[in-house]
Each structure stands twice: as structure tokens, then as C-alpha cells.
Amino acid sequence: MHKILRTLIPFDIAKGLSITGRHFAKVFFTANRRKVPFHIVSEYPEVVARIQPRFRGRLTLLKDEQGEIKCVCCMACEKICPTQVITIEKGKKEGRKMPFPVRYDFEMERCIFCEFCVESCGFDSIILNHQFELAAYNREDFSLGLEGAENMFEPSQVGKFSVADD
């Protein structure tokens, strides 16, 4: 008798449905993009994503107060990189005691964002910035150097993919 009753009246399914209903009601009555920008998920890209301070983004070269490149070509980052994406060429500059990077190439397409390079750097001359929108249309845009529109000092240009960018 008990078994038949349990088969006829679907308590188990009602239990599940009540949970779904409760969540639906909660979201339905509070969902408002202007008031609650992060309900459960953020409405990216309309809402800017929250990023933690330790986030590992794109490799960036730093300059000191005089506008000089801080890198002294110790090659530690080149050696430690697990995917060999960094190529440095040593050079000399007038009025500078330390070696100066003539070339600092970074192949972003192969970078795995592990931050080993930043860790190995004894001169604090590189960091990983907080940029994560790194997609681009052309393969050349992923090869960064010291010069050019896409360089190692500024954040990469964000590709125009979404409606919100226009």
C-alpha cells in the first residue's frame, strides 16, 4: 500500500521541482542588471569582469622613473620559460652601465601564463598585467617586441568582437 502510494504521488519529483521553483522565483524577482550587476554570473562583456589582484595576464616589460627599460638581460626568464616564448638579444646603450635589451621578443600564442618568468626575474623588470582579452584576428598580432603598435610596454589592443565595444 505504502509503495503504491509512493508510486502514484510523485513526492520525489515535487521535492526537486520545489527547489527549482524557489530558485526561479528568487532570480525572477531580483534580476535587474542595473541594481544587481553580479547575480550569480556577471553579464560579461556588458559588465566589467572582476579580477583578483594576483591574476596572471599578459607579460609586460616595465620602465623605471627615467623611462629606461629595467631589463638588464640576465636571461633568467628566457631560461626558465617552459614553452620558450621569450627571445632576448643583448646590446649596449650609451650612458648605461648595465646591458640593454636590443630585442625582447615575446610569442604570446605559445605563452601558458605560468608566471615563472616574473618569479625568476631578480630585477623586478617584468610583470604579468591583468589583461585577459587577448584574442586577435591576425597571427602577427601575437608576436610582441619592443617597437610597433603591439609592444611589450602597453596592454594589447582589445579586438572588437562584441556589440558592447562599439
Partner 1 sequence: MFKNEEMEINLGPQHPSTHGVLRVKLRLDGETITHCRPMIGYLHRGVEKICENQSFFQGQVWTDRMDYCSAVANNLGWAEANEKLFGITVPRRAQYIRTMLNEFNRLASHLIWLATHALDIGAMTVFLYAFREREDILDMNEAFCGSRLTTTAFRIGGLREDLPPGFEKMVQKFLAKFPSCLEEYENLLSENRIWKKRTVGVARLGAEDAIAMGVTGPVLRAAGVPYDIRKAFPYAAYAEMDFEIPTRTEADTYARYLVRMDEMRQSARIIQQCMDGMPEGPVMAKLPKILKPEVNEVYHATEAPKGEIGYYLVGEKGSSNPYRFHVRAPGFINLQSLPKMAEGGLIADIVAAIGTLDIVLGEIDR
Residues that bind partner 1 (CB under 8 A): 10-13, 15-16, 19-20, 23, 40-41, 51-56, 80, 82, 112-116, 119, 128
Helix (H) or strand (E) holding 127: strand 126-128
Q: Which is nearer to partner 1, 13 or 163 (CB)?
A: 13
Q: Which is nearer to partner 1, 55 or 100 (CB)?
A: 55
**Would you say 70 and 122 are in contact if contact means Cβ atoms under 8 Å apart?**
no
What's the min distance (Å) between Cβ of 41 and partner 1?
Answer: 8
Q: Which is nearer to partner 1, 34 or 54 (CB)?
A: 54
d(CA 55, CA 68): 26
Question: In this structure, what C-alpha cell is assigned to residue 103?
Answer: 630585442
Q: Which is nearer to partner 1, 11 or 29 (CB)?
A: 11
Q: Which is nearer to partner 1, 23 or 93 (CB)?
A: 23
CA dihedral 76, 77, 82, 88 (to 10 degrees): -100
What's the min distance (Å) between Cβ of 20 and partner 1?
Answer: 6
d(CA 66, CA 43): 41
Number of Cβ within 10 Å of residue 87's Cβ equals: 13
Helix-, strand-, coil-residue percentages of the chain, each rounded to 5 = 30, 15, 55
What's the min distance (Å) between Cβ of 52 and partner 1?
Answer: 4
What's the min distance (Å) between Cβ of 18 and partner 1?
Answer: 8
Q: What is the DSSP letter of 63?
A: B
What's the min distance (Å) between Cβ of 160 and partner 1?
Answer: 25
